[in-house]
Structure 1
Amino acid sequence: MAPHTEQLTRPAVRLRGLTRSFDGRVVLDAIDLEIPAGQFVALLGHSGSGKSTLLRAVAGLDHEVTGSGELSAPERVSVVFQDSRLLPWRRVLDNVLLGTDGVEKGREALAEVGLAGRERAWPNELSGGEAQRAALARSLVREPELLLADEPFGALDALTRIKMHALLRELWQRHRPSVLLVTHDVDEAIALADRILVLDHGWIGLDLTVDREIPHGDYRARLLAALGVTEDVR
């Protein structure tokens, strides 16, 4: 279901002059950013460019940033990491419900991610893709207005990643949270996001809106150029 127009005009994330330094080295340099409610945004950049630092700041997990960072509904923010972070001593449904109530909601969330019938499984009985599905279910059960994803598919094999891309896009279209996805993968960013940011030397060097009518390759070339990468085409 598409979000209402008034929802899209209300920022889910608003950053003003956000700055973060480590041992005197500026990683985020007075960043201004707004993410409307319901928008899917991917954040690209080289290793060490500050992508995860920015995500942690938005999540309210980094208290050393300066400037201002506003979330419209900070109590309804979920984070998905590269590691599923399932507790090995709790069964799958108990992991999904961690810190929440409502067994039926947990079962429904597991069914949405394709894990119906695995409620009583232990985390070590799941494949890598299934574990990330459980992590997505754990985020969904909290009905987040903002979903923050820090390279959630980086440890998965290529075929599993493709399936997870389709699942995440489907879940986003169904629930319409705002999404900020950190990734190293240009193709992943194009496949999933409606807006792509490139973080470069502490600044947002490129802010690109994705039009599904434009060929994938056009965006790929532009993003690789922004990242300073050239492909040897023979």
Structure 2
Amino acid sequence: MAPHTEQLTRPAVRLQGLTRSFGGRTVLDGIDLDIPAGQFVALLGHSGSGKSTLLRAVAGLDHEVAGSGELTAPERVSVVFQDARLLPWRRVLDNVLLGTAGEEKGRAALAEVGLAGRERAWPNELSGGEAQRAALARSLVREPELLLADEPFGALDALTRIKMHALLRQLWKRHSPSVLLVTHDVDEAIVLADRVLVLDRGRIGLDLTIDRPHPRSYRDPLLGEYRERLLAALGVTEDHQ
């Protein structure tokens, strides 16, 4: 029974001793991290702290990372970037279906993100929010076990960003992938994630569970304590706010 139990409890993502250096500067310094299957995790840190480097390593896009133990992730991984990265010479549905088969699955994914009827649109006809919805649809059609999101809402206006937060939570609840969201926004991390990590000088300086039910509101005073702890871990004091 022991091997079967171990298989059921094995994390979706496991990093042990993960290191990465650029030009002699260590960006990731022996990272140890487990992400259970289906967990929504947000990663905070200053610019240049290694957040995107860590995400690229998990995505398998950086082959020069070194680990004293292991770097494991599911086979089906999708990545969403701040730039939707839609090919301008392909229509929206064709962008969603890149590298996959099954037009009906693509149409269903577009409908799920609120873009039904936009299948034949060109990328330059979409707003910023619509382009990110299309990028999410492209990730969904691959039925990922792990969704990696590198500041996907950073370029959107505040109102569109709030709408996209609600959409991402709905999609996560419906499809149950593990999620690793890289963000600079403390409030975004608190509202969306079940667990928030702070990357500090190449190591995880804080690993904080957000023990509040969803949906969450930015106005919830009980989230203030989490916000203060995260800001403190980021070195932000009241004088800086």
TM-score category, normalised to shorter length: over 0.9
Q: Residue by residue, what CA displacement relative to the aligned partner does 1:108-129 show, whole Å, maximum 9, x if unpaired?
A: 0000000000000000000000
Mapped partners of 1:47, 1:102: distance in 2:
39
Deviation at 1:230, TM superposition (A): 1.6
Q: What fraction of aligned residue pairs are identical, expressed as a percent?
A: 90
SS at match of 1:121: coil
Q: Number of aligned residue pairs: give it.
A: 230
Q: Residue by residue, what CA displacement relative to the aligned partner does 1:147-200 show, whole Å, maximum 9, x if unpaired?
A: 000000000000000000000001000000000000000000001000000000
Mapped partners of 1:77, 1:64: distance in 2:
19
Q: 1:107 to 1:68 in 2, by over 3 A?
A: farther
Mapped partners of 1:204, 1:15: distance in 2:
12
Q: 1:233 to 1:147 in 2, by over 3 A?
A: closer
Mapped partners of 2:150, 2:3: distance in 1:
24
SS at match of 1:38: coil
Mapped partners of 2:165, 2:7: distance in 1:
25
Q: 1:18 to 1:105 in 2, by over 3 A?
A: same
Q: 1:233 to 1:72 in 2, by over 3 A?
A: closer
Structure 1 unaligned spans of 5+: none
Further displaced range: 220-229 or 63-72: 63-72
Deviation at 1:10, TM superposition (A): 2.5
Structure 2 unaligned spans of 5+: 213-223
Regions of 4+ moved over 2 Å: 1-10, 68-75, 231-234
Mapped partners of 2:4, 2:178: distance in 1:
13
Q: Residue by residue, what CA displacement relative to the aligned partner does 1:121-151 show, whole Å, maximum 9, x if unpaired?
A: 0000000000000000000000000000000
Match of 1:204 in 2: 204
Mapped partners of 2:113, 2:3: distance in 1:
22
Deviation at 1:75, TM superposition (A): 2.7
C-alpha RMSD of matched pairs (Å): 3.3
Mapped partners of 1:42, 1:51: distance in 2:
10
CA contact (8 A) 1:58 1:69 kept: no
CA contact (8 A) 2:19 2:31 kept: yes
